[in-house]
């Protein structure tokens, strides 16, 4: 990076920090309550909610991990983004009215209201463990890896700096996070589009078409047609190792029949990290914000997948031979940083700011969610039941600091082996260990009053056991069954595509919960059912129009790239 790049980056840092401080000072005139700190109740507009959802979601796992998957798998990895937009429609119409009508502020609170304290406590512990050891840790690791590769800086120093930047924003509470996320989204979208533009120019120039980005896109379609296929065919006899590996990651039509929906609906609808942005708003504002986020999700593959495909074409034709290496070892996750290295002076600083914005926004959002769950659902209930509001805010800030320190410690020597798994797949796979169980508990809790607390506990525990069974045990003994096909990986190990496993585990968890609820004598009149009325799910003509446009675009994209 040249001096001008550093200046551009510093300007971004100063603007975000100054804006955050200004918002924080404005709200200090009013007594800060725990609800204001954790939720910014009533103060986020629809565009701030939508921007914050995307800023928190789009992080190193997308810029680095999904670009790496774009290098390996191609456009098919965009299914996570485009089906996320469809999932956001479902969340806006059906999930959010239930949360807001019942004054739900945290996901464990929902479980307590619908089931009981035991279910809420079990899931609070599960979520804290997952958020710290998988999400927060992997975001920090991937972001530090990318920035240290680009700048030549020390990995550990970069990691500490990113954590410190996120800490500054997080300590201001959700209102500061929400409104600084608006700047973060603008920077990451503009910077991401610039990177994609440069990637297409590189491809165009490589094949003698000058700086024509249309020619660059056409060249990608010509040189890597397999990378523009959304649905992979099931590998048959004679399939290459690459074809098998691709199908294991994204198992064709089967992933659209269960696992992909479970992953997305759980993430966007039953996840403190995400829903927290909208829980402090009224229904109209929350719905607009969520649908605005859905529109932004539709364009994300252009920003995070296209550079990975461009890097693949360049690499296969003799380019990026050094840039794709880390310590002499080839890594798919180097695709995005490899492209960034070719940006001209000034734009490199802007794209670095975009990448940093994505990382910091996600770290801040995740740390705030960890803080919210621990403070409101564990500390206030079991440690200090009479804690005053200022004490809860103080504990929330302490929790943020502790969570980030733990993430740094775990990442110091890559204790989780994130580098070996590939960033995006690592997050999806290990989150998937509890996603089917969580989503089953929430879905039946929403829409079937007969579901009991005993069934919920059995579903949580049984779902995790079933996921371990499908992922670690069954494929070693049974390679081909009526439920699944297990494929031999490059390491010689048989593996069931985890999206297929997630679909079946979700189904069997639902079945288990239904059976237990039907035989559980504590059911019926004693159940703590939520307030759920059909009128809650009605939408205005404007909201309906937005939904139709979103679904229409998704269908058109699948028709074009099926």
- Whether 185 shows a pLDDT value over 60: the answer reads yes
The candidate with the shortest Cα–Cα distance to 377, out of 201, 125, 166, is 125
Residue 525: its pLDDT value, please? 47
- Whether 463 shows a pLDDT value over 60: the answer reads yes
The CA distance from 200 to 182, in Å, is 27
- Whether 423 shows a pLDDT value over 60: the answer reads no
Residue 306: its pLDDT value, please? 92
The CA distance from 209 to 205, in Å, is 5
546 pLDDT band, cuts 50/70/90, is very high
Is 68 in contact with 427 (CB distance < 8 Å)? Answer: no
Burial class (CB in 10 A: 0-12, 13-18, 19+), 540: exposed
* pLDDT digit string, tens, across residues 306-349: 999 999 999 888 878 887 877 777 878 788 888 877 877 877 78
Complete domains list, the chain, with CATH: 3-431+532-561 (1.20.1730.10), 432-531 (no CATH)
Count of CA atoms in the C-beta half-sphere (13 A) of 115 = 31
| Six token digits for residue 360 | 């910091």
* pLDDT digit string, tens, across residues 485-535: 888 877 778 888 888 999 999 999 999 999 999 998 766 545 666 787 888
Is 248 in contact with 497 (CB distance < 8 Å)? Answer: yes
User: Span 120-140, mean pLDDT?
Assistant: 84
| Six token digits for residue 155 | 């990995």
The CA distance from 309 to 303, in Å, is 11
| Six token digits for residue 364 | 């801040």
36 pLDDT band, cuts 50/70/90, is low
- Whether 151 shows a pLDDT value over 90: the answer reads no
The candidate with the shortest Cα–Cα distance to 177, out of 84, 93, 112, 274, is 274
User: Span 249-270, mean pLDDT?
Assistant: 86
Higher pLDDT, 274 or 545: 545
């Amino acid at each position: 990076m040249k001096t001008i790049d550093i200046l551009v980056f510093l300007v971004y840092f100063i603007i975000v920090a100054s804006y955050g401080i200004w918002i924080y000072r404005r709200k200090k005139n009013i007594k800060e309550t725990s609800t204001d700190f954790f939720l910014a109740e009533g103060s986020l507009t629809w565009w701030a909610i939508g921007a914050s959802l995307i800023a928190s979601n789009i992080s190193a796992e997308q810029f680095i991990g999904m670009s790496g998957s774009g290098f390996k798998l191609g456009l098919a990895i965009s299914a996570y983004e485009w089906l996320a937009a469809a999932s956001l429609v479902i969340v806006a119409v059906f999930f959010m009215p239930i949360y807001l009508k019942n004054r739900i502020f945290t996901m464990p609170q929902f479980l307590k209201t619908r089931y009981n304290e035991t279910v809420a406590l079990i899931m609070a512990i599960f979520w804290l463990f997952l958020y710290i050891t998988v999400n927060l840790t992997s975001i920090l690791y991937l972001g530090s890896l990318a920035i240290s590769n680009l700048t030549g800086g020390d990995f550990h120093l970069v990691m500490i700096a990113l954590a410190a930047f996120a800490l500054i924003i997080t300590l201001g509470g959700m209102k500061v996070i929400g409104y600084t996320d608006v700047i973060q989204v603008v920077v990451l979208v503009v910077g991401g589009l610039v990177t994609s533009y440069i990637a297409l120019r590189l491809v165009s120039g490589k094949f003698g078409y000058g700086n024509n980005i249309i020619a660059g896109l056409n060249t990608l379609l010509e040189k890597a047609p397999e990378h523009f296929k959304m649905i992979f065919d099931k590998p048959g006899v004679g399939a290459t190792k690459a074809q098998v590996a691709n199908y294991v990651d994204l198992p064709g039509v089967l992933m659209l029949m269960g696992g992909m929906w479970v992953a997305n609906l759980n993430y966007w609808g039953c996840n403190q990290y995400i829903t927290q942005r909208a829980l402090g708003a009224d229904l109209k504002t929350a719905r607009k914000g969520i649908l605005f986020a859905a529109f932004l999700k539709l364009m994300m593959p252009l920003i995070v997948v296209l550079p990975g495909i461009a890097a693949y074409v360049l690499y296969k034709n003799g380019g990026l031979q050094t840039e794709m290496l880390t310590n002499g070892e080839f890594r798919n996750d180097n695709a995005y940083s490899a492209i960034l290295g070719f940006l001209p002076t000034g734009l490199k600083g802007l794209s670095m700011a975009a990448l940093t914005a994505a990382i910091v926004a996600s770290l801040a959002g995740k740390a705030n969610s960890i803080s919210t769950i621990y403070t409101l659902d564990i500390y206030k209930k079991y440690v200090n039941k009479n804690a005053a509001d200022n004490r809860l805010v103080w504990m929330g800030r302490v929790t943020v600091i502790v969570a980030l320190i733990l993430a740094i410690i775990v990442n110091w020597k890559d204790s989780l082996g994130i580098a070996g798994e590939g960033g995006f797949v690592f997050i999806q796979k290990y989150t998937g260990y509890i996603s089917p169980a969580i989503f089953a508990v929430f879905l039946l809790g929403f829409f079937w009053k007969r579901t009991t607390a005993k069934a919920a506990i059995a579903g949580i525990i049984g779902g995790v056991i079933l996921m371990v069974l499908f992922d670690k045990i069954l494929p070693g003994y049974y390679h081909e069954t009526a439920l699944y096909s297990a494929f031999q990986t490059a390491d010689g190990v048989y593996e069931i595509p985890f999206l297929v496993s997630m679909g079946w585990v979700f189904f069997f968890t639902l079945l288990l919960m239904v059976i237990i609820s039907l035989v559980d004598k504590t059911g019926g009149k004693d159940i703590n059912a939520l307030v759920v009325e059909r009128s809650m799910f009605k939408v205005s003509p404007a909201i309906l129009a937005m939904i139709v446009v979103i679904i229409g675009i998704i269908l058109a994209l699948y028709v074009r790239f099926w």
